[in-house]
Structure 1
């Protein structure tokens, strides 16, 4: 059995000036909406939950834009474990299948398992990691709200994972 750990710094999915301005305007609009305090409690809970969630999403994009130049990469702890001719590789993301298949196709092991959404709990934990094609087409979970890391970062994750798999094989 072998176990390798690496910190991989992945390029973030940058927020554009246009996206930033749009989110600021949307947040300003949402700040004008009030939380419901009367009427049907169930309807109020749903309204208030959606309003709080939408505000938080806008705020997270604004904060990402304001910090992205100072911190253009996202450090991620990568674990690779070898047990005989089987390997396990972990990451903090919910990968689009293309990335998992790229790793498995290039792995020197008989079988390679990709362990997703591992290592970082809570709000700073796993997000979707969209491919370039999905990001370009604004596919499911390929939006700025769902992706901290760029498709280039996804390919870097693939390359670094494969490099470590080959190193411990």
Structure 2
């Protein structure tokens, strides 16, 4: 009776060790999550992981335009609203720039975690008219190289 007790205990120990090993293997196969970027309009917030991110290294030059043209999560804003854009401190340390429909808005990267811009700036077409939606991208950059790209779609509400 004592021998059977030890065999059952050994079997449970081997099963527990196998479960732990399997759990560690499963976790090692997971991708590390990218930093998040956030867009807030009024009380509505949309958060997204990067469309392209290479764990702090530069994104390949040929990949960046494709990443920049992807549509992201949508959020609505009226012309009078303030659009608040935010990034994690890790992204702010490197510097980030806002792109509207693929064109940079600022000449120098921003080093703050938060930025507020009137929604009308996103919908202005440059020819005196206004568009119904805008593709908004946040680009983390260092030394002229893109490190991460986050995309959102800002839709105009009336």
More strand as a share of residues: 2
Higher helix share: 1
TM-score (normalizing by structure 2): 0.28
> TM-score under structure 1 normalisation?
0.27
